[in-house]
């Protein structure tokens, strides 16, 4: 049985026990405490929850890390029909896994040769929120296919959730709640892992127990393996708290995320980066600055991030006889009509001289990288991932660790007045960005070594 199922029932049963009376009025015919309704349990005292959490701590230890269960199928959990950085990273990982030379292990990895072949599939899911009927959980978006921009990746959609295909249940179940299948009273001796691994984005870390366990061989329960890919830290909003879980593999996209995981005591951690697709890079790979393009935009900024700092800069630099012209990338979060496609953003960046980003950097953000590849001078703060050289290695002069309007003003003026020379100072950053696809392949090799090769050879 999966941990989420047991934790859910522990809390319900603890709440029911606390409400039972001495005369047995609230007990079932079998003598056990009757389960309370959702409305009743919401108003219960905190002590049953505390007791449930203590019981959960021991349960976590009963589900060990799957060190002897080689992975054969990797599912990448992702919402359908959305084109943003997170979903694209998931498709990139799916493609990298399917394309990796390390995807086959064994003495003979050819078909029928006894080797272990790994395949990766996109698991398109809709999140079901607490206000929805049935509560928090997921719904399989069966039949969904990737958006057109992601068809460059080898990322086929999964027709079934993990465990359905082998039992002939594909498509029969659609809704899954965070509590799983609700079966309790079993332990790790009645449990085994399958060769399926589901990779969840960090924004869905609270849903990792949504897909239930199922029947297996010899009456044992089986469950897929679990990983969380921390594409950011801040976007998780601290919803993941089960740091003592042995059964979760954590992947980190940034040094910022790695340190966050280590600080919180995550047990199993591996690196996994992503990359800017070639379609959004500059036209000329050999020359960093394309002199044929007109740079008619002074400074670009993201209106969704750090706007209070940007407003200060605009008030200082956007005045006088020769004011700096500031242009937002699209509209604010409520102005959907002004939102730009990735191609439109790339085209706008190629017209700009400077890109400033003084917002939070929850992970190794894409816009600073895209701006650098488009030939811009990039000025950032040092919040979040931007505080680490491993994540945002722009020249030190252009990383403002303590916000200073006058300093930023001088940086802007210098970049605008001597643009070509200043932009060339970012050649090293651009080379580093272009190496991220190779770095991702190396990360994938390390990942496959951990979840396949070590477990196969052992």
Over the stretch 110-123, which tens digit does the pLDDT of each residue have? 333 345 689 999 99
Q: What are phi and psi of 108, to 5 degrees?
A: -135, 105
Number of C-beta neighbours around residue 23 at 10 A: 7
| pLDDT-derived band at 409, boundaries 50, 70, 90 | very high
Helical spans, DSSP H, in 247-359: 255-264, 307-317, 342-349
CA-to-CA dists, residue 126 to 76, 150, 176, 304, angstroms: 13, 18, 10, 25
Residue range 195-209: mean pLDDT, rounded: 96
| pLDDT-derived band at 360, boundaries 50, 70, 90 | very high
Asked if 445 and 438 touch (Cβ cutoff 8 Å), the reply is no
Dist CA 362 CA 339 (whole Å): 21
Choose among 204, 203, 266: nearest CA to 258: 266
Q: What percent of the chain has pLDDT over 90?
A: 57
Residue range 142-149: mean pLDDT, rounded: 90
* pLDDT over 60 at 455, yes or no: yes
CA-to-CA dists, residue 357 to 92, 145, 300, 305, 406, angstroms: 25, 34, 9, 7, 16
Residue range 303-332: mean pLDDT, rounded: 89
Chain segment 375-386, per-residue pLDDT in tens:
999 999 999 999
Q: What is the model's pLDDT at position 457?
A: 73
Tokens representing 441 are: 């392949």
* pLDDT over 60 at 350, yes or no: yes
Dist CA 75 CA 196 (whole Å): 7
Q: What is the model's pLDDT at position 15?
A: 44
Q: Where are the domains of the chain?
A: 3-61, 73-275+437-457, 278-434
Residue range 422-441: mean pLDDT, rounded: 97
Show Cβ contacts of residue 128 under 8 Å, excluding neighbours closer than 6 positions.
Answer: 134, 135, 136, 137, 138, 139, 175, 177
Q: What is the model's pLDDT at position 281?
A: 55
268 bridge partner residues:
249
* pLDDT over 90 at 220, yes or no: no
Asked if 376 and 353 touch (Cβ cutoff 8 Å), the reply is yes
Give the best-scoring range by mean pLDDT among 157-171, 218-232, 255-269, 310-324. 255-269
Q: What is the model's pLDDT at position 164?
A: 74
Q: What is the model's pLDDT at position 408?
A: 96
Burial 117-147 (b: 16+ CB within 10 A, else e): ebebbbbbbbbbeeeeeeebbbbbbbebebe
Classify residue 160 as exposed, middle or buried by CB count within 10 Å of its CB (0-12, 13-18, 19+).
buried
CA-to-CA dists, residue 106 to 103, 116, 449, 458, angstroms: 10, 6, 12, 12
Q: What is the model's pLDDT at position 222?
A: 81
| pLDDT-derived band at 166, boundaries 50, 70, 90 | low
Number of C-beta neighbours around residue 78 at 10 A: 28
Residue range 335-343: mean pLDDT, rounded: 74
Give the best-scoring range by mean pLDDT among 5-9, 23-27, 66-70, 211-215. 66-70
Chain segment 97-113, per-residue pLDDT in tens:
999 865 555 444 433 33
Q: 3-state class of 144 per DSSP?
A: coil
Dist CA 430 CA 289 (whole Å): 11
41 or 175: which leads in pLDDT:
175
CA angle at residue 359 from 263 to 125, to 5 degrees? Answer: 70
* pLDDT over 80 at 93, yes or no: yes
**What would you measure as the largest C-alpha separation in the chain, in angstroms?**
87
Q: What is the model's pLDDT at position 56?
A: 47
Choose among 95, 115, 100: nearest CA to 442: 100
Dist CA 60 CA 54 (whole Å): 10
Asked if 197 and 225 touch (Cβ cutoff 8 Å), the reply is yes
Residue range 362-377: mean pLDDT, rounded: 97
Q: What are phi and psi of 103, to 5 degrees?
A: -75, -10
Dist CA 178 CA 173 (whole Å): 15
CA-to-CA dists, residue 374 to 228, 290, 348, angstroms: 31, 9, 9
Q: Which of 32-36, 268-272, 290-294 has the lowest mean pLDDT?
A: 32-36
Chain segment 50-75, per-residue pLDDT in tens:
444 454 445 445 578 888 899 999 99
* pLDDT over 70 at 314, yes or no: yes
| pLDDT-derived band at 189, boundaries 50, 70, 90 | low
Dist CA 398 CA 389 (whole Å): 12
| pLDDT-derived band at 137, boundaries 50, 70, 90 | confident
Residue range 305-319: mean pLDDT, rounded: 92
Chain segment 221-260, per-residue pLDDT in tens:
788 999 999 999 999 999 999 999 999 999 999 999 999 9
278-434 topology per CATH: Rossmann fold (3.40.50)
Number of C-beta neighbours around residue 412 at 10 A: 23
Q: Kindly report the average pLDDT of the chain as a whole number.
A: 80
Q: What is the model's pLDDT at position 23?
A: 43
* pLDDT over 60 at 352, yes or no: yes
Q: What is the model's pLDDT at position 168?
A: 54
Residue range 347-375: mean pLDDT, rounded: 96
Q: In angstroms, what is the C-alpha Rg of the chain?
A: 25
Q: What is the model's pLDDT at position 216?
A: 54
Q: What are phi and psi of 410, to 5 degrees?
A: -65, -40
CA-to-CA dists, residue 434 to 281, 424, 430, angstroms: 9, 15, 6
Residue reference for tokens 């937002």: 328
């Amino acid at each position: 049985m999966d941990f989420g199922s047991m934790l859910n029932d522990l809390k319900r049963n603890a709440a029911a026990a606390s409400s039972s009376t001495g005369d047995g009025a609230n007990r079932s015919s079998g003598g056990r405490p009757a389960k309370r309704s959702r409305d009743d349990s919401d108003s219960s005292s905190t002590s049953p929850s505390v007791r449930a959490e203590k019981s959960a701590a021991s349960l976590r230890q009963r589900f060990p890390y799957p060190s002897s269960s080689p992975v054969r199928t990797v599912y990448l959990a992702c919402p359908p029909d959305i084109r943003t950085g997170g979903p694209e990273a998931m498709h990139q990982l799916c493609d990298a896994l399917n394309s990796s030379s390390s995807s086959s292990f064994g003495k003979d990895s050819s078909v029928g040769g006894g080797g272990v072949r790994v395949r990766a599939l996109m698991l398109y899911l809709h999140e079901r929120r607490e206000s929805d009927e049935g509560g928090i959980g997921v719904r399989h978006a069966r039949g969904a296919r990737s958006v057109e921009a992601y068809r460059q990746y080898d990322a086929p959609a999964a027709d079934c959730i993990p465990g359905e295909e082998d039992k002939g249940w594909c498509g029969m179940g659609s809704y899954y709640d965070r509590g799983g299948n609700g079966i309790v009273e079993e332990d790790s001796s009645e449990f085994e892992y399958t060769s399926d691994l589901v990779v969840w984005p960090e924004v869905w870390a609270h849903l990792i127990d949504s897909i239930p366990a199922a029947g297996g061989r010899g009456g044992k329960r089986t469950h897929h393996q679990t990983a969380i890919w921390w594409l950011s830290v801040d976007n998780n909003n601290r919803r993941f708290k089960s740091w003592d879980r042995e059964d979760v593999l954590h992947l980190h996209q940034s040094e910022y995320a790695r340190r966050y995981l280590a600080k919180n005591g995550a047990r199993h951690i591996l690196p996994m980066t992503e990359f800017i697709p070639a379609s959004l890079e500059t036209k000329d790979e050999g020359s960093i600055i394309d002199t044929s393009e007109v740079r008619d935009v002074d400074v670009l900024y993201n209106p969704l991030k750090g706007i209070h700092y940007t407003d200060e800069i605009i008030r200082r630099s956007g005045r006088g006889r020769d004011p700096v012209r500031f242009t937002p990338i699209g509209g604010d979060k409520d102005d959907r009509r002004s939102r730009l496609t990735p191609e439109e953003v790339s085209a706008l960046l190629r017209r700009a001289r400077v890109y400033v980003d003084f917002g939070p950097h929850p992970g190794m953000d894409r816009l600073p990288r895209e701006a650098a590849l488009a030939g811009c001078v990039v000025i950032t703060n040092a919040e979040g991932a931007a505080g680490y050289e491993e994540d945002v290695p722009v020249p030190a002069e252009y990383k403002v660790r303590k916000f200073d309007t006058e300093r930023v003003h001088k940086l802007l003026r210098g970049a605008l007045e001597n643009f070509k020379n200043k932009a060339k100072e970012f050649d090293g950053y651009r080379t580093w960005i272009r190496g991220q696809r190779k770095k991702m392949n190396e990360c994938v090799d390390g990942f496959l070594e951990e979840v396949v090769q070590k477990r196969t050879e052992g």
